[in-house]
Chains A and B, each alone.
Chain A
């Protein structure tokens, strides 16, 4: 029995102690935070090497009684779905902290870094928790640090944005809490023993009646749909992203949104097959609407950061579409799309931030001709932009292609894959439209005099961008090793979600 996963939870906590000790020394605080997140990244990569590819079940499990009188335990483990999301989280956190230490944050730096380490505990924890109670704790633990990051170090409308973010998310997660308690009560066996551990819940899910699944799935789905966010719960996202500091946006888009998609795959789908079937039409409709609506709204944005934010809505639409068409291609595509979106959109937010630090402008109309001065910046930004629009050879293509492939095979009635597939494909085309148009307006054309003296990427900014670029290319060219990790676990989840013994209950 190893303790790698617990180590991942403990390292950021341990980092808080020296950070507290150096709270009046900004330089030392920065070093502590960078070291902590770097160690965390290294341990998460080590964890990846310990993972046995091809085994669909949970690995590296650890279980300790936590609230034994309530049957709740500290239970962590990873499978193919989560094992890649953890290093993604630690990498993006490392990049975010590294970038923040470069001077983009000017006030209350030790507090800022404290918030990031707290955030990292929550983010890593969400992906490894296998007990619903523990999952909820980590899910909520992400909330307060992000609330502070947006609210203290954000833009001019930060307070409105951060309260909106918190209230939306909290509304969803508290409803989910009721759902979790309902699952807990329903898990009672003849002797009254109850549990919230996922593997045990999967064994006894036959006890969940159709009605129960219908409502409890809704409770879970609301929380995840708000976090993800799905249309029409997305309105907090543009506000939060625009007001958040750059590093906050990177982590918010890169990791926090994934908690929603991951929650669907990990808990809502396998636990409530009847609930999924009942809500499937609505969820697929909302996913496709998100893809098209996100793309169209992105196209008309005047603010660069808001454009990237709305493009997130469209991309996450692909994630939910991939999840809810309930087949292997779709599921694998959705997980890949989550990873891709983490790297690519994280990078896009990073580059919008870098650009804003230099020019202090974010309106697309105020920019232009940046390619003339910043060749390096333009190359990086261009690659990420192309990955975002799904160019073959880069990672965005792989995820979206698999999702579309799965969608065409979706057998739903009355409207099947041949209806939804082309609609979603239009979204890919629209993405090309708004992204290329944006790139053209920002990078080409006449350059403003005021920008002529501004420097290209600094060494630090390069250090932040290179790992993301490498992964973008790697995932695009060699997706197979990653798919091999993801596939067995997704296959198992899809099997659980489409278990024929439950389908009978639906038609009855």
Chain B
């Protein structure tokens, strides 16, 4: 019973997902369109409450599940992101005739997977969580069945995702072979006793890094990202770009910092280089994009690089873990918001707006443009937004770990990113609305949720203390 209580939030989210499927079948199309998002949000809020009320920290299910501050933080983040995604979607789903029931259910199922990753204490729990999270996302990418690009996106994502899962699993097998256990603590103990890395540990480490690198979209394992993000329906992209990414980093922290912590010296250097390559690669390709959706896809790769830099700085102690968590929260809020702002424009297929189609957007939808501008400025990392605080807390452990060069690379990358983020602002605010522009959709639910989110970006940018405290406390269980 205690075990069940420990995973109450996961159970609630699963029940919500099934409830949605049943309700979808029973309700008519019109009633479903209004009721399903309500059910989703209400259910997720209950799950959030039960997360925060929380079972006492400890190991459950014979050590397979680890409920600690880290798990609670990530559970809350995943649920919040799912709520945000559910709030911005209804108008788009109705407009594009996307099956709403499946959509919300998929988001909930994927969230359960992500939450499972967060509370995993064992390779098996982690892998189950990872697959539970990813498989619904494959479906989500192709949910607009009649769209060619959506099909392409789903197939690409599925093939590469399956491939990376196989690599990861193979890496887990090697780890099991070395340690004789799938438990993170046991693995860490064996590796610590072993001291220096040997051939088999290197193989395991490489496979795990590559596998998780795929999931988090680390360059050069990112090729699926732009196409998958571009081809998926825009609200789905908004969710895909943040939820699974945060989950991938939860996995990276649990496996690399937790289980493979004793090999820190080996993987930290590799991750530092990967981080630099990822942020630079993502930003440079984003520079030349003319479609905002694709641009945001590449920019999300760049943000992976910033987060990875903080992971690479793990030897700086708790501040590194806190930086990862804080950045993931900030990134989730602002990136989901930025993608969701594209929902104001009614475009055919799954396409996002081109820069020219955003001309004079500030005149056509003043509040939408303002929210978009706030998210973009936050993504750039300019105060007083949460994005700036996030950059600050990331640079801190990176310098502390002696990676001064990486800190400079982060700073220079932020300038590169400023160019393409602010170019969007230029098009929205500094060009007149001329030529054939897509119609602007008046969407009250969307505006309300984006308004709250952009306000949160500003408020948390001005008073970030409690969030940082929380992230710091949540990162503590990782450090031994």
Contact = CB atoms under 8 A, between A and B. Distances in A.
Interface of A: 66-70, 133, 136-137, 140-141, 143-144, 147-148, 151-152, 158-159, 162-163, 166-167, 170-171, 174-175, 177-178, 181-182, 184-185, 215
Given A67-B468, A70-B468, A175 B411 contact: yes
B443 interface: no
26 contacts: A66-B463, A67-B464, A67-B468, A70-B393, A70-B468, A136-B383, A137-B384, A140-B388, A141-B384, A143-B382, A147-B425, A158-B430, A163-B419, A170-B382, A170-B415, A170-B418, A171-B415, A174-B414, A175-B412, A177-B391, A177-B392, A178-B408, A181-B396, A182-B404, A182-B407, A184-B396
A167 B423 CA distance: 11
Given A70-B468, A143-B382, A152 B429 contact: yes
Given A151-B430, A175-B408, A144 B465 contact: no
A256 to B, nearest CB: 15
B79 to A, nearest CB: 24
Contact of B411 (A67, A141, A144, A177): A177
A148 B382 contact: no
B400 interface: yes
Interface in B415-431: 415, 418-419, 422-423, 425-426, 429-430
A69 B468 contact: yes
Residue among B381, B415, B429 having the largest count of chain A Cβ atoms under 10 Å: B415
B422 A140 contact: no
B396 to A, nearest CB: 5
A174 B408 CA distance: 9
B400 to A, nearest CB: 5
A181 B392 contact: yes
Contacts of B465: 66-69
Contacts of A151: 426, 429-430
B214 to A, nearest CB: 30
B272 interface: no
Contacts of A170: 380, 382, 414-415, 418
Contacts, number: 87
B258 to A, nearest CB: 23
Given A67-B465, A167-B418, 18 more contacts: A67-B464, A68-B465, A70-B393, A133-B392, A137-B383, A140-B388, A143-B382, A147-B425, A151-B429, A159-B430, A163-B426, A170-B418, A177-B392, A177-B395, A177-B411, A178-B404, A181-B392, A184-B396
A181 B419 CA distance: 24
B469 interface: yes
A181 B382 CA distance: 16
Contact of A163 (B396, B404, B414, B423): B423
A356 B265 CA distance: 64
Given A68-B465, A178-B408, A144 B377 contact: yes
Interface residues of B, number: 36
A178 B410 CA distance: 9
B372 to A, nearest CB: 14
A144 B384 CA distance: 11
The A contact surface, by secondary structure, is helix
Interface in B362-397: 377, 380-384, 388, 391-393, 395-396
B472 interface: yes
Interface in B70-106: none
The B contact surface, by secondary structure, is helix
B173 interface: no
Contacts of A178: 395, 399, 404, 407-408, 410-411
Interface in B423-450: 423, 425-426, 429-430
Interface of B: 377, 380-384, 388, 391-393, 395-396, 399-400, 404, 407-408, 410-412, 414-415, 418-419, 422-423, 425-426, 429-430, 463-465, 468-469, 472
Contacts of B383: 136-137, 140-141
A69 B430 contact: no
Contacts of A171: 412, 415
Contacts of A215: 404
B381 to A, nearest CB: 8
A163 B422 contact: yes
B430 A152 contact: yes
A405 B468 CA distance: 51
Residue among B381, B382, B399, B465 having the largest count of chain A Cβ atoms under 10 Å: B382
B419 A167 contact: yes
Given A141-B383, A144-B377, A152-B430, A181 B407 contact: yes
A389 B407 CA distance: 44
Residue among B404, B422, B468, B472 having the largest count of chain A Cβ atoms under 10 Å: B422
B290 to A, nearest CB: 16
Nearest to B466: A69
B91 to A, nearest CB: 26
A227 to B, nearest CB: 15
A67 B466 CA distance: 8
B476 to A, nearest CB: 13
A67 B469 CA distance: 9
B399 A185 contact: yes
A167 B399 CA distance: 24
Closest 7 CB pairs of A and B: A174-B411, A137-B383, A171-B415, A151-B430, A181-B395, A178-B407, A140-B383
Contacts of A182: 399, 404, 407
Contacts of B404: 178, 182, 215
A70 B425 CA distance: 32
Contact of B426 (A133, A141, A159): A159
Contacts of B407: 178, 181-182
A133 B396 CA distance: 12
Nearest to B370: A111
A140 B392 CA distance: 13
A47 B465 CA distance: 31
Nearest to A194: B396
A138 to B, nearest CB: 8
Contacts of A159: 426, 430
Given A163-B422, A177-B411, A140 B382 contact: yes
A171 B408 CA distance: 11
A67 B462 CA distance: 10
A158 B464 CA distance: 35
Contact of A148 (B410, B414, B429, B469): B429
B66 to A, nearest CB: 25
A133 B382 CA distance: 13
Residue among B408, B418, B423 having the largest count of chain A Cβ atoms under 10 Å: B418
A143 B383 CA distance: 10
A495 to B, nearest CB: 30
Nearest to B381: A174
Contacts of A147: 422, 425
B423 to A, nearest CB: 7
A129 to B, nearest CB: 12
Nearest to A137: B383
Contacts of A175: 408, 411-412
A303 B55 CA distance: 72
Nearest to B322: A69
B472 A69 contact: yes
Contacts of B412: 171, 174-175
Contacts of A133: 392
A166 B419 CA distance: 9
Contact of A69 (B392, B419, B469): B469
